[in-house]
Structure 1
Amino acid sequence: MAIYMSLLFLFILAQRLIELVIAKRNEQWMKERGGIELGSEHYKWFIVLHTLFFISILFEVLLRSNAIEFHNVLFAIFILLQLARVWCIQTLGRFWNTKIIVLPNVSLIKKGPYKYMKHPNYVIVGLELMTIPLLFNAYWTAVIFPVLHLILLKIRIPAEDTALKKVSKT
């Protein structure tokens, strides 16, 4: 079981790194077309949060001497969250990013999951910050990091909404 959980952890890490590459490529594409980055002051805290998230899971797993039990229901939730995550990224296409970058005079995307809620990706990430640690029996991480995520979102969402209102067509 340990090898499968290690592979799952590495898969999640690789997925996040690939997403950062996609975000960087999208950032470059948007800036080449006049994209403006706004609200960048808090971005470093998202990097810190997500880095410490993975370190925290490892730390909890290494401190615990008992084996990790596989949870079918949690794994199913994880898979659903990954599908929803991909749905968000694919819906936004070149506009998906980890930063707040907006293109002037571009209409907001209101299809896919964005048809149903304004910030579905943030909900998905919050649920992942609970679900992923629970898969590894990292209970402290599952409690602490969603709370920290919510605190950062209190800064991020208003900054993003303000940026989008400034430059987007409705």
Structure 2
Amino acid sequence: MIWYALLVLAVGAERLAELRVARRNARWSVAHGAVESGPGHYPAMVALHTGLLAGCLAESWAAGRPFDPALGWTMTAVVVAAQALRWWCIRTLGPRWNTRVLVVPGLPLVSAGPYRLLSHPNYVAVVAEGLALPLVRGAWVTALLFGVLNAALLTVRIRCEGRALLREGAAGPSARPAGADR
């Protein structure tokens, strides 16, 4: 159980690192004319992702399920792959990446890196991590609850991003803000 708590804490530390990058990038975006869209759903997103980490630890401790090596190690590999994909997105978008919906007017959509393959690769990472991290220790209730709530939140988020792109004149066939993919 200790190694799992360390894994969850490491994911939490990674999230804090993301927030530092996002704050720095938000300053850059605002300096280049971006205005935040849809700030109302952001607190729910923060609460959901914090709840995921707490739920992983609470359910795995309370349920006392034994570690299933086949499931646990497979899901650990998915968590690691999700982190790699997330940081590939962050690196590809550079200062345009953010946890908030900030669209810099006049900048084209990014179509390099993982964005040449998927419209929202960071969301793929979020979904994969949100399902896999709890399942490393058999916390299937947390995985299910996060999956359902995250699907609802992503529906709101992706619509918000699409509206922001349209407003800034950057929307195309695969409308997504270049930098608000989280």
> Do both share a fold (TM > 0.5)?
yes
Distance 2:73 2:56 in 1: 19
* 1:35 alignment partner in structure 2: 34
| Mapping for residues 52-67 of structure 1, pairs under 5 Å | 52-67=51-66
Distance 2:39 2:22 in 1: 15
1:136, distance to aligned residue in structure 2 (A): 2.2
- The amino acid across from 1:52 in the alignment is G
- The amino acid across from 2:26 in the alignment is E
1:59, distance to aligned residue in structure 2 (A): 1.4
Q: Percent identity?
A: 37
1:33, distance to aligned residue in structure 2 (A): 1.8
Asked whether 1:117 is paired with 2:99, we answer no
Asked whether 1:108 is paired with 2:109, we answer yes
* 1:9 alignment partner in structure 2: 8
Q: Is the 8 A contact 2:36 2:101 kept in 1?
A: yes
Q: What TM-score results when the alignment is normalised by the length of structure 1?
A: 0.92
1:6, distance to aligned residue in structure 2 (A): 2.3
Distance 2:50 2:80 in 1: 21
Asked whether 1:26 is paired with 2:25, we answer yes
Asked whether 1:137 is paired with 2:138, we answer yes
- The amino acid across from 1:41 in the alignment is G
After the TM superposition, which parts of structure 1 deviate over 4 Å for at least 4 consecutive aligned residues? none
Asked whether 1:157 is paired with 2:165, we answer no
1:66, distance to aligned residue in structure 2 (A): 4.6
Distance 2:40 2:64 in 1: 40
Q: Which runs of 5+ in 2 are unaligned?
A: 173-182
1:124, distance to aligned residue in structure 2 (A): 1.4
Q: Is the 8 A contact 1:78 1:128 kept in 2?
A: yes
Distance 2:65 2:160 in 1: 43
Distance 1:158 1:39 in 2: 10
Q: What TM-score results when the alignment is normalised by the length of structure 2?
A: 0.86
Asked whether 1:85 is paired with 2:86, we answer yes
1:45, distance to aligned residue in structure 2 (A): 0.9
Q: Which runs of 5+ in 1 are unaligned?
A: none
- The amino acid across from 1:158 in the alignment is R
Give aligned pairs, total: 169
SS of 1:161's equivalent in the other structure is helix
Distance 1:107 1:124 in 2: 23
